[in-house]
Structure 1
Amino acid sequence: MSHPLTTPLSLALQQAGRQGHLPQTLADVTITPLYAALGAEVTGLDANRPLSPALVRALKKALDEHHILIFKRQQLSDAALLAFATYFGAVFRPPEDVPVLASAARDGIPPDVVPVANVAGGYTGNGELHPHIDHQWTPLPSAGSLLYALEVPAEGGDTSWYNLNAAYEALDADTKARIDGLQLITYNPFLRGPGQQRPLYRTPDIEPLGPGFAHPLVRTHPSSGKPVLFLSARAEVELVGVAPEAGAALIAQLREHVTQPRFRYQHKWQVGDIVHWDNQATLHARTAFAQNERRVLKRVSLAGSRPF
């Protein structure tokens, strides 16, 4: 009896496995570090084609080292983007009781390919987005994402990434000692509606709208072992076991530090760009752009593990 495939992921991987192309090898590809605080550009790679084991391993190693990888001049269907992304990990699946971007699209679970766009059916609009870590409020934050540009505005809509390992290493010894072992709760921004107060630090007089999950403020990267300052710039947070005034002051100090331009790379999008970023080692932000301009990108996020 026939048992047809029904999920986008299964169909994408079945289609990718039937193409018959020879795998690309490490010799086909060049990885060039950017002259910036983080990032490397990958040339010679066609994300429609299969990758050799050595090439996959080299790309994963480069991501650990540079935190973001930029693939230029790609032409992909949603299925091909999804298949390419899964070389680097499983697709992120948030718990049904912890909403994230696009959760409302499919009974509490976002689609595998999320339209990050200011057109019908898209998410995030055209306003500025402050430096943040995706899914930090979930029990298992995503490991990373791949964002693919289909349409870009003439001006604005640039994305910046911040190097959280470099930010940690630049702290003085006293601050490192002070924050070692602290646990940070990041509260879910999707539980507050438009126009509601969005505090930067939760104090006892502010009732949380939902449960929080504590993660290390200084996180150890699961594959590179690098320490990272795992803190978003404007999310509602709380340090576990720290007096509110002291906690708020410390978080404000760390946020001013981590968002310094010396830790940032700003990307001007071109159609066909894919940027793969390590969500465990970076913040990312977006500049605003004109409402009458179209910005259409597709995102696949990858599953992560419990922060430690």
Structure 2
Amino acid sequence: MTTITFRPLTPNFGMEIYGVDFSREQTADDIALLRRLWTEASGMLLFRDQHLTPADHVRLTACFGKVQDDIATQAPVLAHYLLEGYPEIYRVSNKKIDGKPLGREDAGTYWHSDGSWMQQAPRGSILYAVELPTVGGDTMFADMAGAYDALSPPVRVMLDGLNAVHSVLNAAISTSYTKEYAGKLDQAASKAAIHPVILKHPVSGRPAIYVNEGFTAKIVELTQLESTAILKMLFDHCTRPDFVYRHRWQLNDVVMWDNFSNMHFAVPNYKAHGWRLLNRTTVLLEA
């Protein structure tokens, strides 16, 4: 019987977990512990040296909640990046076979929270490193709960009660999503939602800043000029080095995060250094 242990990834958020082998079934007690640690780590968990089949990846995802299996319906433009036979697994990769992309090459090359444009945004994402370049391709994560705690009291008061529009159109205009939605901006515009600027985590109740450069278009209650200024201040604040963990990938890493507590940025500096292939599953918020 193995014992689960852990260490902090940063002084403020994230944990590296030891003693877990996701190629095997997990006990109910271990699942309960991992779920608790996920919340206590403010969203970020790292598991090294996992050797997973796609079925293993889906099973480990189910340890943390309901597994999203309708990615092709929610985002049809991404359907061809799903792993054949596994509608739960979305691939991010610069690798091509016979000229055909194996996954989405420039996925996440901007600060964002996965699915914040959905009416019910997904709680978590779980990424598994299948193939890596010789150097580069790090992913940065921001602690949005810690960033909220560091705001001055008057700014917290100002933000309380404000709401923001999150839209795929915002990303389609200004990020690598442009390529996916070329000629389909009407489809991008239809995928939008309004969420509180300060979101109380649905499990822990801890408040976090819930805006991101990729999908957040405007703060509803403010003028465009006011909204642009406040959002820029928040983006700059949340990505200060003291709120950021930069993950240097190792083969067979499993990294998971909470989209209500974290946003992330994939650093696109690796393409001259080999193939990069990561498989991602999504954990939905349980009712």
State TM-score, norm by structure 2: 0.85
Query: Counterpart in 2 of 1:4?
Result: none
2:148 aligns with one of 156, 165, 168: 168
Amino acid at match of 2:19: G
Task: Name the CA distance, whole Å, in 2 between partners of 1:165 and 1:171.
Answer: 10
Residue 221 (structure 2) pairs with residue 251 (structure 1): no
> Hey, what's the Cα distance between the residues in 2 that align with 1:165 and 1:173?
15
Instruction: Considering fraction of residues, name the structure with more helix.
Output: 2
> Which residue, out of 46, 57, 60, partners 1:84?
60
**Distance of aligned partners of 1:276 and 1:196 in 2 relative to their CA distance in 1, 3 Å threshold:** closer
Partner of 2:95: 119
Q: Which has a greater percent of strand?
A: 2
Aligned position for 1:304:
285
Unaligned runs of 5+ in 2: 183-187
Per-residue CA deviation, residues 34-92 of structure 1 (Å, 9 max, x unaligned), is 23442111111110112122211111111111121111111110011111110111112
User: What is the aligned partner in structure 1 of residue 243 from structure 2?
Assistant: 263
User: Secondary structure at the residue paired with 1:31?
Assistant: strand
Based on CA coordinates, which of the two structures has the bigger radius of gyration? 1
* Number of equivalent positions: 268
Write the distance in 2 (CA, Å) between the matches of 1:295 and 1:83: 23
Q: Map of 1:1-308 to 2, 5 A cutoff?
A: 28-66=3-41, 67-93=43-69, 98-99=74-75, 102-104=78-80, 111-120=87-96, 121-125=101-105, 129-189=109-169, 193-194=178-179, 209-210=189-190, 212-292=192-272, 293-304=274-285
- More moved, 113-122 vs 247-256: 113-122
Residue number in structure 2 paired with 1:21: none
Contact 1:126 1:157 in 2 (8 A): no
Deviation at 1:242, TM superposition (A): 1.6
Instruction: Kindly indicate whether the alpha-carbon contact (under 8 Å) linking 2:69 and 2:87 is maintained by their aligned counterparts in 1.
Output: no
Residue 191 of structure 1 and its aligned partner are, at CA, apart by 5.4
Compared with structure 1, are the counterparts of its residues 81 and 195 closer, same or farther at alpha carbon in structure 2 (3 Å cutoff)? Answer: closer
Which stretch shows the higher mean deviation, 188-197 or 68-77?
188-197
SS at match of 1:154: coil
1: distance between equivalents of 2:56 and 2:180?
A: 38
SS of the aligned residue for 1:168 comes to helix
With over 3 angstroms needed to count, the CA separation of the structure-2 counterparts of 1:146 and 1:127, relative to structure 1, is closer
Amino acid at match of 1:194: K
Using the TM superposition, give the Cα deviation of residue 98 of structure 1 relative to its aligned residue in structure 2, in angstroms: 4.4
Contact 1:221 1:227 in 2 (8 A): yes
Q: Secondary structure of 2:110's match? A: strand
Retained in 2: the 8 A contact 1:82–1:300? yes
Instruction: Give how far 1:241 is off.
Output: 2.5
Matched position secondary structure for 1:111:
strand
Identity across aligned pairs (percent)?
A: 26
Which residues of structure 1 form unaligned runs of 5+?
1-23, 198-207
1:5 corresponds in structure 2 to none
- TM-score, length-normalised on structure 1? 0.79
